[in-house]
A and B are shown apart, each in its own frame.
Chain A
């Protein structure tokens, strides 16, 4: 009988997820530079360590040893609180993402997930909405026009795109009937049935969600809150040392989380093709026990999910070094007059298809 996961196990998972998301964010800085270089016919950082793999370490040492600077007239408490909040919210949202199915040892089943809650998607939306406070507070506390402009832009941009993002998501929820990310993942691949990942049923929804994800993480072509060419550095103009590092880190953690959410919602999460056939093959032909075969599939599924996440992270960077930035009015027009109506149409189409039993 499968028992509920113990609290101790969950804290281990959360700690591992925390470490892994920080590690991935660290190496995102390296990957960003290498990918940017490759897309521009250069080679990127290759001096520190083999293939420049120690570069993030060098960057971290640089960040830590920089001067802590407080601008005159800044609200000190809020100035420190801003990057902390940005980082905390970025890390919090990864708690509910199912990084794998359950591992079974004896009578204990361990979920590869921080917390399994039935409002997982709602939690992510709530925490991500909080993330804009980090940017807003930091920009406001800096006592700088450019910072404030960046913060205001970030706030209005996030509010505008959260609407379209939520409505794109509603179409998925209409099909799944649950907010639990684990349930949504499991529904995308059921043993013995021919199931497709949600991307097949929701192509338009995925495109809307993806565009909004770019806007939510302040990535090019929607990086108006921190555009160097217009606002010096946007909301982190006045930041230095590791406080700046936290902002930059939070952006990469956000990318990691949003990539994970997109993988879970639209690309089958920890499922991979022919997983049940593979499990049955191990059980029937190799004589494995069902639980150990299932554990192997779980581990492979976790690796598969990370492969999908890395693919999305690469896509984020690929887009960044391809597209120029939107103008602010274009950004607003895209959000309000194109994406939101499209999302509504998508909901209508999905509803119709469900009504007529084409998809379920």
Chain B
């Protein structure tokens, strides 16, 4: 019975003298390995060299600040709901008077933790976030650690630095002028 028409008919011919002498085949093999000797090596010497990341790579999380340096996160919990691995936990708090420069909304996250051992880096939190606060950086991975609790990243390691030039390239990164232009454009649109 024939299942496919891809079957190849094998012929068992007696070997020629060159094949039986074995030496030509050896030299053929030697030439192949010698070609590989001079080929470009596939190895990446890791600590010195790193593999280039894909532009759509999803790495370590970052909690973005807005253009005025305020934390965007409002602790709505949508990311935690969206997370299939249940890696995100947060505690919400109310913004006090005088903290307007720190937090964008009246409600903010007192603590925000991502367990990198649970996280599957799917990016659903990024999609769920209505405030464009959480992003997965394209150029940074969660580095290896010795202890498990070191993989639970708190706000100290997630929120991006205050100075704009050190911020992550991923996510909204608008100058005040660009933000104003965007706001005017949105206001001009009919509801």
Contacts and interface: CB of A to CB of B under 8 A. Distances in A.
B185 to A, nearest CB: 53
A323 B115 CA distance: 49
A39 B45 contact: no
Interface in A6-58: 35, 38-43, 46
Contacts of A46: 45
Contacts, number: 36
A282 interface: no
Contacts of B33: 39, 318, 321-322
A43 B37 contact: no
B29 A323 contact: yes
B41 A42 contact: yes
A41 B36 contact: yes
A356 B34 CA distance: 41
Contacts of B36: 38-41
Contacts of B32: 322
A321 B26 CA distance: 12
B29 A43 contact: no
A278 interface: no
B42 A38 contact: no
B30 A43 contact: no
Contacts of A318: 30, 33-34
B43 interface: yes
A39 B30 CA distance: 10
B39 interface: yes
Contacts of B42: 41-42
Interface on chain B toward A: helix, strand, loop, or mixed SS?
helix
Interface string A300-325: 00000000000000000011011100
Interface in B33-82: 33-34, 36-37, 39-43, 45
A43 B43 contact: yes
A233 B36 CA distance: 28
B93 to A, nearest CB: 49
A220 to B, nearest CB: 12
Indicate the member of B36, B39, B40 with the most A CB atoms within 10 Å.
B36
A46 B47 CA distance: 12
Interface in B94-137: none
Contact of B45 (A40, A43, A207, A321): A43
B43 A319 contact: no
Contact of A322 (B23, B30, B40, B41): B30
A319 B41 CA distance: 20
A35 B30 CA distance: 13
A319 B32 CA distance: 11
Contact of A319 (B23, B30, B37, B39): B30
B43 A39 contact: no
Contacts of B37: 35, 38-39
Contacts of A322: 26, 29-30, 32-33
Contact of B43 (A35, A42, A321, A323): A42
Nearest to A207: B23
A37 to B, nearest CB: 8
A310 to B, nearest CB: 15
Interface string A347-360: 00000000000000
Nearest to A46: B45
Contacts of A207: 23
A43 B42 CA distance: 8
A147 to B, nearest CB: 31
Contacts of B26: 319, 322-323
Contacts of A38: 36-37, 41
Contacts of A319: 26, 30
A42 B40 CA distance: 9
Contacts of B34: 39, 318
A319 B22 CA distance: 14
A319 B34 CA distance: 10
Nearest to B20: A338
Interface of B: 23, 26, 29-30, 32-34, 36-37, 39-43, 45
Interface of A: 35, 38-43, 46, 207, 318-319, 321-323
Going nearest first, the 7 A-B pairs with the smallest beta carbon separation are A43-B43, A322-B33, A39-B33, A322-B29, A38-B37, A41-B42, A43-B41
12 contacts: A39-B36, A39-B37, A41-B42, A42-B41, A42-B42, A43-B41, A207-B23, A318-B33, A322-B26, A322-B33, A323-B26, A323-B29
